[in-house]
Amino acid sequence: PLGLQRGRLNSSYSLVDAMLRKARAMAVSLPVGAGLSAGRNALVAAAPTPFICILDDDTRMHRHTDLRVLLTALLASPGTAIAGGCYSPYAGAYCGAGFEARG
């Protein structure tokens, strides 16, 4: 796992540092104000795997969430660069499983 940190880690981040170590995760540090896109691009560049999952801080996994569906779709569609699930603004709403390839 990778985590993005804006600015330098200091003693006030000891809890975050401990959580990263426990999860065997790596922190990617960027200057304050680098921006969301720069942060995501840095995470993509640092990822040691061919696939990544980027979640916003307000994203919650639903009990029906199955990332294997997305992985299967990506593996079955060489050249596909992105896959995503559905979004519902209603708590507890289930969108179902699906995939749409474009391009």
Residues 4-60: tens digit of each pLDDT: 555 555 555 667 777 777 877 777 888 888 888 898 898 889 888 888 888 777 777
Q: Please state, in angstroms and rounded to a whole number, the distance separating the CA atoms of residues 52 and 72.
A: 14
CB 68 within 8 A of CB 23: no
Give the domain ranges of the chain: 2-54, 58-103
Whole-structure pTM value: 0.57
How high is the pLDDT of residue 6?
54
Those residues with Cβ within 8 angstroms of residue 1's Cβ, 6 or more apart along the chain or in another chain:
23, 24, 25, 26
The tokens describing 9, both together, are: 């880690």
Q: Please state, in angstroms and rounded to a whole number, the distance separating the CA atoms of residues 24 and 2.
A: 9
Residues 45-80: tens digit of each pLDDT: 988 888 888 877 777 777 777 788 888 888 888 888
Residues 78-99: tens digit of each pLDDT: 888 777 766 666 655 556 555 5
How high is the pLDDT of residue 97?
53
Q: Which of 52, 33, 36 is nearest to 44 (CA)?
A: 52
